[in-house]
Every structure is written in structure tokens, then in C-alpha cells.
Structure 1
Amino acid sequence: MSPAYILKRIVLVGYTLLVVSLIVFAITQILPADAAVMMLGENATTEALSALRAKMGLDASIWAQYGHWLAGVLRGDFGVSMRTGQPVGPVMIEALGRSLLLALFSIVLMLVLALPLGIIAAVRRGRIADLLVSVISYIGVSLPEFVTATLVVLVLADWLQWLPATGYVPLTENPLQGLRHLVLPVLTISVILIAHVSRMVRSELVDVLHTDYVRAARLKGLPKRTVLYKHALRNALLPTITIVALDVGYLLGGVIVVEEIFALPGIGRQLIVAIQSRDLPSIQAGALIMAATYAIASFLADIAYARLDRRIQYD
């Protein structure tokens, strides 16, 4: 992978985020909320509202407001929350860290379970194991997050009482309790991910096992494990990387429901609170940070593509 391509992709990521910032800022301007009224209250005088609008630059043109906001974002200043009066950036970054921790555990669990299930289904194509994996995958895909969350809470938290139903404990304060609170949301998210990825691995591996170079490797007398893991699986995983990168976007979007159900203070829950309270700076910061995370994940997926398959060259 050439440095020129990497630089080109970085520029493309920056351009994408610029477009997203325009869209996000435009949408927040359409929302029926007056920042000055939100901060001072509905009983504020006209003079006080006018003074605050002038201080915040709200009396300037839309493009001037956007330029001021974008300049602040480039400096790492996302503004001040209308709801709390605190800087938005540190709060959203901290919330993003919690969401990424949840996503990381979910992706690790997904890879640990989905890859073996997909491999077993492909190797035993048409047999009982393949049928069971297919049934599990279809069930996982068909269950929405709120249904899966209800089921795991009902079984593991209510009936068996093994785990806490809601809440969050930082891992730095109490690692054991922190992990216990993350188990249920991780299981909820992983169900759909495992269903998607296991089917993808199974489908791609079945196709790769019927290619000419795999047949040639078998004819050379190579062990079955070598043919499967060194030759076939490596190429079958390429589309899986794309799915995992896209799932990062799903995690940042779909995790909103999970965080709300399990009362996890991640970026999804922060965004819901911001929307409910018409906290425009928090909405802008949350949406832009989520978009940046997704764009970076897609960029890393391209790099992983080139690392796994040397035939892929980005110029």
C-alpha cells in the first residue's frame, strides 16, 4: 500500500466528515429550538435573549455560525451544552469510549463464535451441523435488539439472577462488577453480529473451497488443516472484514437502543438525551463523532484487506 494512497484516503475521510458536518449543522438549525430560550428559559426578557444571541453569535448568518462552529471543532472545541453548561467535547469523548468498549467486547465475542460456526457449516455443508448453524443464524437475524435484550434480561437477570439487569460500573473502579454489567448488553449485540458473520464466512468459504487453487493444494497432498486455514480461510475472510467494518456503523447506531435499555452512559444514550432536551451542541458533537468513528473503521478495513491479501494493491 503506497503512502500516496494512504494520504488520498485520509483526505477522503476529511472530505466526508466535512460533508457530514454540513448536514448535521443544517439539520440542527431546522430543529424547533432556540438556544437562547433553552439557556435562559421561556420567561427571559427580550433584551436578555437578544444579548445572549449576540454573545453566542446566533444573530449572525448561517454560514458565519457554521464557520465559527467548524473552527471550534478543528480546535477540539465542540461548544458548551445547553443542558448542563459544561463543555460538550470531553463528555462525548468519554461516552464514546464506553460505547467503543461495548463494541469491542461484542466484536471479540462475535469473532470467537462466528468464525468457528461459519467454518463448521462450510466444511460440513448439507449436514446437521450446517442446518443448525443456518437455523441459529436466521433466528439471530430476525430478532430485533429490544426483543433480544428482553429475553436475556428475563432469563439471566430475572429468572436465574446471575447478572445485574441495568447499570454501569467503570472497569477502572471495579473490574469484576464492570464486566458483570457489560455481559447482558454484549450478548444482546453479539447475537445479530454472530448471525451475520457466520453466514458470510460459511458462504464465502464454500465458494473458496471449490476454486482451482484449493483443488491444486489438495492434489499436492497438503494436510486438510493447511488447505483450510492457510489457503482457503484467508481469502474467505476478506468479505468478512467489510462486514465487520460495516458492523461498526451498526454498533454505533444500533447500540443506542441497547444503551437505553441497559442504562449504559454511552454516546448513543447521550445523543438521545441531547435530542430530547434540544441540546444542539451535544447533538452536533455526537453525530459528528459517530461519523468520524465509522469513517476511520472503513479506512482501517481497507488496510486490513491489503495485509490479508497481497494481491490487492492500492495505488
Structure 2
Amino acid sequence: MHPILKLIAQRIALGLMLLFAASILIFGGTMMLPGDVAQQILGQSATPESLANMRESLGLNDPPMTRYFQWLAGFLQGDLGVALTNGRDIAESLGFRLSNTLFLAFWAALISVPLAITLGLLAVRYKDRWPDKLISAITLTTISIPEFMIGYVLIFFLAIQLPQLIQSMDFLGDPVQSWLLANLKFSSVALINDSMTLIEKIKSITLPIIVLTLVVLAHMMRMTRAAILNVMQSAYIETAELKGMGMLKIIRKHAFPNAIAPIVNVVMLNLAYLVVGVVVIEVVFAYPGMGQYLVDHVSKRDVPVVQACGLIFAAVYIGLNLVADIVSILANPRLRHPK
């Protein structure tokens, strides 16, 4: 087998093993939660006979190992079971929610990834000068503030204060005020549905996109900056400078391509966060995604839903890290050899 194919096969095998271990932890963790699922469903007034029948119907009397393998086999076949609270098929409910989460993550990534790489390149170009210091200060500030705090601040200023400020500007005239209110309208609740157009959906999720962009921007920008600065110390960069090549051209043609492996790793980690770590953002903006769905059913102790969401989140996170590993192997010849 070719060495590259062998390394990729090893990474995929490790990823599957890690996902299997994660499934055990997720199933075991939900089983150890305090309380009685049957009691939660039937309420405090349930009789012992009805509780016993409910436990039997839910399979709670089966050995944990049997229940785990039944659950895992169903997951591999696309059968996630039904929600205990409403009896709906979990796979159908999650399909809609997952598409919403991926829609939000896609637009946040579409803005944050190019912006982070561009800012990282600018920081390298103007190293230790005011653009570099300004970019670093802003990104460090945004990463130091919890995302829910950024969300509430943006809601207060952009969704509440900004319309009031525009309405108070009588000198603008009614046509200008109406245009500004129509085009600078930010919604504090990011609700989307199939009847909305693409533009309407994007307008509705503008604030969550801004928050996610600010949260992941600093990681990617600083890794881009650090990786390129590390490459800039190489001998071939000095040779290019001695030949009279411009700094921007050196960065674009020589430094950036050779620093792509660590940049891809941090980009994939942040893309994983955009899908897996949006729980807080979805709750703040009442966005109908997987995070909101998970939180709603955690409070109701709907164990099958929690297990399904947890395993899907784990699969997405492991999968994106696996992609980052493979891209790093293909981009860096040194990683293709055991030595």
C-alpha cells in the first residue's frame, strides 16, 4: 500500500475507534443521570404498575450492555428512536435542526475563515506596527469575552438601541429614516423557516453570524500569523528577500503555502466549534438548531434525544479533525514519512 494511503487509513481507523469510545461515554453518561425516566414521563402521580409497564416498554429493564448495542446498531442504521416527550421520530426532527445548524455554521465560516486569514497576512506584513497591534488587540478582546455576553451586547445595541437612535434623527427625513430602519434592522430572535427567502434567512441570523465570527476569528488569525512568521525565518525566505522580491509576494508565494498545515488544523477545529459549540448562541437567539433542540430535551430528561445529539456532535467534531489530519498529511511532505 502507498505510504499516504496507509497513513490515511490509519487516521480513519483511529477516528472510528475514537467515535466508538465517545459513544460509550455518551451512553454511559446519560444512563448515570439521576432520576427515573419513566417517572419523568408519567409524572409524580403515576402508579407503580404504570411505572413498571413504562420501564418495560422503554427497555429499561434490559442489561446496560444489551441496550447500548441495540442503540448503537440503530444509530448505524439511521434509526435514532423516538423522543420520549412527544413520540416523534428523532431522525426526522434532527434532520431539520441539523440543517439549520449547518446553515448558520456555513455563513459564519464563509465570513470568518477568509477574514481571519486576511487579517493574519496583514498582521505578518505589518509585524510589530500599528496594524498588527490593532488586529491583535481587537481579536484578543473578542476571544476574552464569553459568546453569550457578546450576543446580549449586540442585541442591546443593534436590535434595541440602533432603531431608537435612527428614529430620533428627525433631520434625516422620513424617506431616509424608513430606508435605514428597513436595511439596518437586526432581529434579536433568529427564527427561520422554509417559507423565507435566502435573504430573509440571512437577515434573521445576522447577529448570530457576527457573534460566531468574532468568537472564532482570533484563533484562526493568530495561528495564521504565528505559522507564517515561523516560516518567514527560513533560509529560502531570506534568499527571496535578497533577490528583491516584495514582502507581499514572498508571503503569498512562499510563506503561506508552506504554513498551510497548521492553518488548516486550526480552521478545521474552529469549523467544528461552529457546528458543535453553537449551543449557547442558539439558546441566546432562540435559533431552531441542534443546540436549542438538545437544551430543550435535556431539561425534559429525554435521554434518547440527548444521546442522539451527543453522538452526532461527536461524529462531526471527530470527522472535521480527521479531515484536518488528512489535509495536513497531503500538504506537508514531512508528515508522510514515519521519521
- Whole-angstrom CA distance in 2 between matches of 1:175 and 1:190: 20
| TM-score, length of structure 1 as denominator length | 0.92
Q: Does 1:186 align with 2:209?
A: yes
1:50 and 1:90 map into 2 onto residues whose CA distance is 29
- Letter of the 2:205 partner, please give it: L
Secondary structure, aligned partner of 2:336: coil
Q: Where does 1:223-234 land on structure 2 (aligned, <5 Å)?
A: 223-234=246-257
**Where do 1:221-260 residues align within 5 Å?**
221-260=244-283
My pick for the range that moved more, 214-223 or 280-289, is 214-223
| 1:135 counterpart residue number | 137
Q: Which residue of 2 aligns with 1:160?
A: 162
- Code of the residue aligned with 1:26 in structure 2: it is G
Q: In the alignment, is residue 169 of structure 1 matched against residue 171 of structure 2?
A: no
Query: 2-side partners of 1:171 and 1:157: how far apart?
Result: 24
CA 170–112 in structure 1, closer or farther in 2 if over 3 Å, else same: farther
Give the Cα–Cα distance (whole angstroms) in 1 for the partners of residues 309 and 337 of structure 2: 32
Distance 1:239 1:306 in 2: 11
Q: Please list the CA deviations of residues 169-207 of structure 1 after superposition, one character each: whole Å capped at 9, or x if unmatched.
A: 136632111000111001001112112222222222222
CA distance in 1 between counterparts of 2:310 and 2:16 reads: 15
1:90-121 Cα deviation digits (max 9, x unpaired): 22233222212222222221122211211111
Aligned mates of 1:11, 1:207 — CA distance in 2: 32
Structure 2 unaligned residues grouped into runs of 5+: 164-184
**Partner Cα separation in structure 1 for residue 248 and residue 128 of structure 2:** 20
8 A contact 2:27–2:68 mirrored in 1: yes
Matched letter for residue 75 of structure 1: Q
Q: Distance in 1 between matches of 2:23 and 2:137?
A: 42
Q: Cα deviation per residue 1:202-246 (whole Å; 9 max; x = unaligned)? A: 222222222112112333454544321121012223212211222
Q: Aligned residue for 1:297?
A: 320
Residue of structure 1 in register with 2:52 after alignment: 50
| Structure with larger Rg | 2
Match of 1:207 in 2: 230
Q: Matches of residues 113-124 of structure 1 in structure 2 within 5 Å?
A: 113-124=115-126
Counterpart Cα distance in 1 of 2:52 and 2:152: 48
Work out the CA distance in 1 between the residues paired with 2:36 and 2:52.
Answer: 12
Q: Residue 274 of structure 1 contacts residue 282 of structure 1 at CA under 8 Å; is this kept in 2?
A: yes
The Cα RMSD (Å) is 2.0
Give the count of matched residue pairs.
Answer: 315
The structural deviation recorded for 1:271 is 1.0
Identity of aligned residues (%): 32
Amino acid at match of 1:122: V
Measured after TM superposition, the shift of residue 49 of structure 1 is: 2.3
Change (3 A) 1:225 1:120: closer
Q: What's the counterpart of residue 177 of structure 2?
A: none
CA contact (8 A) 1:252 1:268 kept: no
Letter in 2 for 1:28: T
1:140 Cα deviation (Å)?
A: 1.3
Q: 1:314 to 1:61 in 2, by over 3 A?
A: farther
Residue pair 1:38, 1:82 contacting (<8 A) in 2 also: no
* Residue from 65, 86, 89 that aligns with 2:91: 89
Q: Which residue of 1 aligns with 2:301?
A: 278
Query: Could you tell me how far apart the structure 2 residues matched to 1:184 and 1:28 are?
Result: 33
Bigger Cα displacement from structure 2, 220-229 vs 202-211 = 220-229
Q: Partner letter of residue 128 of structure 2?
A: G
Give the Cα–Cα distance (whole angstroms) in 2 for the partners of residues 120 and 68 of structure 1.
53
CA gap of 1:140–1:44, structure 2 versus 1, over 3 A, is: same
SS in 2 for 1:86: coil
Asked if the contact 2:125–2:247 (Cα under 8 Å) also holds between the matched residues in 1, the reply is no
* Structure 1 residues 112 and 172: alpha-carbon distance in aligned structure 2, compared to 1, 3 A threshold: farther
Decide whether aligned partners of structure 1 residues 113 and 171 sit closer, same or farther in structure 2, where only a CA change above 3 A counts: farther
- The SS at the match of 2:294 is helix
Distance 1:67 1:314 in 2: 38
For residues 114-169 of structure 1, the C-alpha deviation after alignment (integer angstroms, 9 at most, x for no partner) is 11211111111121111111211221121111121122112221122321111321
Following superposition, the deviation at residue 281 of structure 1 comes to 0.2
Residue 6 of structure 2 corresponds to 4
Q: 1: distance between equivalents of 2:264 and 2:142?
A: 20
Residue 40 (structure 1) shift: 3.0
